[in-house]
Amino acid sequence: MVTISEVAQLAGVSVTTVSRVINDYPHVSKAKKDKVFWAMDKLGYVPMQAARQMRGSGSQTIGVVVPAIINPFFSYLINAIERTVDKLHYKTLIIQTFGRKQNELTALDYLKRHQVDGIILCALENDWDIIKGYQKYGQIAVCNEYVDEDTIPMVIGDQFNGLRQGTEYLISKGKTKIAYCTGRDSLILQQRGKNFDSDRYLGFTTALQAHDLSFNPAWLFTNAHSIEDGQAILKQLSQMTQKPDAIITGSDEVATGIVSLAKSLNIKIPQDLSVLGVDDQPLAKFLSHPLTTIRQPITQMGQQVAEVLIDNIKGTAEPAQKIKLDLQIVPRESA
Amino acid sequence: MVTISEVAQLAGVSVTTVSRVINDYPHVSKAKKDKVFWAMDKLGYVPMQAARQMRGSGSQTIGVVVPAIINPFFSYLINAIERTVDKLHYKTLIIQTFGRKQNELTALDYLKRHQVDGIILCALENDWDIIKGYQKYGQIAVCNEYVDEDTIPMVIGDQFNGLRQGTEYLISKGKTKIAYCTGRDSLILQQRGKNFDSDRYLGFTTALQAHDLSFNPAWLFTNAHSIEDGQAILKQLSQMTQKPDAIITGSDEVATGIVSLAKSLNIKIPQDLSVLGVDDQPLAKFLSHPLTTIRQPITQMGQQVAEVLIDNIKGTAEPAQKIKLDLQIVPRESA
DNA sequence: TCGCTTTATGTAATCGCTGACATCATTATA
DNA sequence: TATAATGATGTCAGCGATTACATAAAGCGA
């Protein structure tokens, strides 16, 4: 491989001079600078990042931890993050957890190893008490999850108001018996106090209460993630004696599962059952029943969390911003 | 940060001994080995990759270059690659080109910089003559694109037979006037000889010829990528006097665009127009007209290309495998 | 018990790059 | 003109790991 000394030799200068040229330091004459550029070009030289890193420049890389990249929500989020990170001259290392705690910890180990200068967690697998211990090894920012910790920058959608408005929307359409799905495990839901998902839930119940509506606990569905989960939920619903007339799903996937099975179960959407999605995924509007859904500000979320994290890495940020972005209801045909 | 010498000091041994323990070399007594493990654990030590790399171990990272991660085809491909790469104890650095030549070259520069030990190109932006020059800096493998070069490992779907069978399928359904869409630019299609997409096209025309059917050049649509492109194509079609009775799209996106607009243009699918997708994306079966489509072996493609590349990096591979995987027709309602 | 191999451990050079420090040469200031 | 300040350039230590080489101790057959 081509090293800085080879460039120095060819250009007839010292390695320091080459280094100065590379890093655009002053006090190099035009003549030598030109020679160095010529030599670098001729040899096709690019400085080796690993060597630079040993001298204290970071890895110029940030890690993005997601449960699964095939989930469009996360691939869109990664896309937004990558674009921003790239613009700020960093690289993006993607790590999938597949929902496993151990993978999240392995990802955080990248901080120790100095493979990454910072990490964006787009979902939390481990308890915060465990994760917080990694803060001393590098910057951590959280996106799309609620963390009640001053020292951690956090960018989330305003789930409370989003769901409140979504619920209001259903009520405005004359619906009063509203079911609710969440991706959370029912157990965790009980254990944790104020977290991301209960923000959503709180928005939902707040809207109900404002209209003197009650919630039937039989209509709470947990662990709902996939299209198949949505289908299973609709099957359950169709066998209930007390049927809801609307359902708030945790994601467009679940909503897709529901609307896809409605016809064969002879359920009319939205007359018999209004279905409200969350995310506004690209295909949501092309389904047999185009989804009415709550759009998450994915692009802004990704952009802002990346900017905040890199600000923190560079030390040019006021510590630990908490950024909350508005959700938006997209009315279509399913509700 | 914790260094190897701190571990050595705490364990009361030399750095060499620690290094031997880390790398599992022989000739270390049980007693010292235990002490070293204890000290590493106590200090939370992890070796710094950058320092190791300077001693010749690679970066243990491979770069995956895709046009856009939000395209489900690529996010599924990346997923398959990442899982395999992870299993082989490498890391995955994702680079999006957004279809820009320069971004692809920047990605290839990672090889020079030794940020990655190898690169998987999942789409080609630049001419091969330009890319081939980077081979001297590290391993390059190509996935999902045709490269007629002995020295390059390549994993592709068997587009020729896939499209031939897809066309046969349409013919077996009584269709004789078949339109064809491709993502390629019409210009490039003329310039290049045997490439990925013309393999597809060849499969298509081979099937037509076998049944003495001719192809109307007015039914060739180029630059077709998105849902919107599909909608535009259907609008064009609906205004033709000579209308096709089937259409082969380059992707499920284009097919989605077509079926989504069919109802409002009063075109019955598949009676008036059969629509054949390519990819079998997860939502394809939940559309208003579930897509009949040609499934690409994405998982195997990703897995195999990753294995081959890493074999090559380790030097444990016979040079430059060419792997061709079968496509599969998934019959649903759109054709 | 003597030489020889094997095991256990340490010292120091090295990877490519940066930057503190040193050294002249040149220009500005008194 | 003497002195100080600034510019241009070079020498070399050091970042954290690996590894060639050196050395000492232990094992072993004759």
Domain with B69 in it: what CATH number?
Answer: 3.40.50.2300
3-state class (DSSP) for residue B275: strand
Predicted confidence (pLDDT) at residue A316 exceeds the cutoff of 80 = no
Q: What is the mean pLDDT of residues A247-266?
A: 91
User: Is the Cβ–Cβ distance between A277 and A260 less than 8 Å?
Assistant: no
Whether residue A55 lies inside any domain: the answer is: no
Compute the nearest-CA separation of B203 from chain A (Å): 29
DSSP string, B194-258: S-HHHHHHHHHHHHHHHTT----GGGEE-S--SHHHHHHHHHHHHT-SS--SEEE-SSHHHHHHH
- Asked, for residue B34, whether it belongs to a domain, the answer is yes
Query: Mean pLDDT, chain A, as a whole number?
Result: 91
User: Closest nucleotide to residue B14 (Cα to C1')?
Assistant: C10
Query: A276 with A285: CB under 8 angstroms?
Result: no
Predicted local confidence at residue B196, as pLDDT: 44
**pLDDT of amino acid A188:** 59
| A126 shares its domain with A275 | no
Better-scored residue on pLDDT, B263 or A300:
A300
Q: Is residue A43 part of a domain?
A: yes
Cβ of B246: how many Cβ atoms within 10 Å?
24
Decide if B314 is inside a domain: yes
C-alpha distance from residue A87 to each of A81, A91, A198, A241, A310 (Å): 10, 9, 35, 56, 11
pLDDT attached to residue A81: 96
- With a pLDDT cut of 90, the percent of chain B lying above it is 75
Can you tell me which residue has its alpha carbon closest to the C1' of nucleotide C20?
A: A16
Same domain, A143 and A24: no
Tens of pLDDT, residue by residue over A30-44, are: 999 999 999 999 999
CA distance B313 to B308: 9
The answer on pLDDT for B190 being more than 80 is: no
The pairing of strands B178-181 and B220-221 is: parallel
CA atoms within 13 A on the CB side of B267: 26
A47 contacts B113? CB cut-off 8 A: yes
Residues B199 and B167 in one domain: yes
pLDDT in tens, A57-101: 889 999 999 999 998 899 999 999 999 999 999 999 989 999 899
Assess whether B118 and B201 both reside in one domain.
no
Same domain, B152 and B171: no
* CA–CA gap between residue B313 and residue B305 (Å, rounded): 12
**Domains in chain A, number:** 3
- Co-location of A171 and A247 in the same domain: yes
Q: What is the pLDDT of residues B264-273, one digit of tens each?
A: 899 999 999 9
Distance CA(A128)–CA(A145), nearest Å, equals 11
Between strands A118-121 and A61-66, the pairing is: parallel
Q: Report, as an integer, the average pLDDT of B179-205.
A: 73
User: Is B334 inside a domain boundary?
Assistant: no
> Helices B159-172 & B196-210, crossing angle to 10 degrees?
30
In this complex, the residue with its CA at the shortest distance from the C1' of nucleotide D6 is A27
Interface of A with B (CB under 8 A): 1, 44, 46-51, 53-54, 59, 61, 68-70, 72, 75-76, 78-79, 82-83, 91-94, 96, 109, 112-115, 137, 227, 256-257, 259-260, 282-283, 286-288
Percent of chain B with pLDDT over 70: 96
Helix, strand, coil proportions of chain A in percent (round to 5)?
Answer: 50, 15, 35
Do the domain assignments include residue B52? no
Q: Is B128 left (phi over 0), alpha (psi -120 to 50) or beta?
A: alpha
pLDDT band, residue B289 (cuts 50/70/90): confident
For A280, the domain range is: 159-295
Q: Are residues A152 and A174 in the same domain?
A: no
Q: What is the spatial distance between Cα B236 and Cα A84, in angstroms, rounded to a whole number?
A: 38
Given a contact cutoff of 8 angstroms between Cβ atoms, the answer to whether A183 and A196 are in contact is no
DSSP annotation of B20 reads H
Q: What is the pLDDT of residues A264-292, one digit of tens each?
A: 899 999 999 999 999 998 878 877 788 99
Token code pair at residue A212: 């003197």
DSSP state of A287: B
Higher local confidence (pLDDT), A278 or B192: A278
Are residues A166 and A292 in contact, defined by beta-carbon separation less than 8 angstroms?
A: no
Q: Give the confidence band of A196 by pLDDT, cuts at 50, 70, 90.
A: very low
Confidence of residue A190 (pLDDT cuts 50, 70, 90): low
What band does A187 get if pLDDT is binned at 50, 70 and 90? low
Q: Are residues B236 and B271 in the same domain?
A: yes
B19 in a structural domain = yes
**Domain identity same for B183 and B260:** yes
Residue-wise pLDDT tens digits, B130-182: 999 999 899 999 999 988 888 899 999 999 999 999 999 999 999 999 999 99
Beta carbons of A153 and A322 less than 8 angstroms apart: yes
A124, part of any domain = yes
AA letter at B199: D
Length of chain A: 335
Same domain, B95 and B35: no
What CATH number is attached to the domain comprising A10? 1.10.260.40
CB contact under 8 A, A82 and B96: yes
B-chain CB neighbours of A94 within 8 Å are: 78, 82, 92-94
Residue B319, pLDDT > 70, answer no
Residue A264 tokens read as 């064969």
Of B46, B78, B96, the CB nearest to A113: B46
Same domain? For A291 and A206 the reply is yes
Q: How confident is the model at residue B189 (pLDDT cuts 50, 70, 90)?
A: low
In this predicted structure, the answer to whether residue A327 has a pLDDT above a threshold of 60 is yes
- Claim to verify: residue A165 and residue A282 sit in the same structural domain: yes
Tens digits of per-residue pLDDT, A128-180?
999 999 998 999 999 999 888 888 999 999 999 999 999 999 999 999 999 99
Query: Residue B194: pLDDT band by 50, 70, 90 thresholds?
Result: very low
pLDDT at position B187: 60
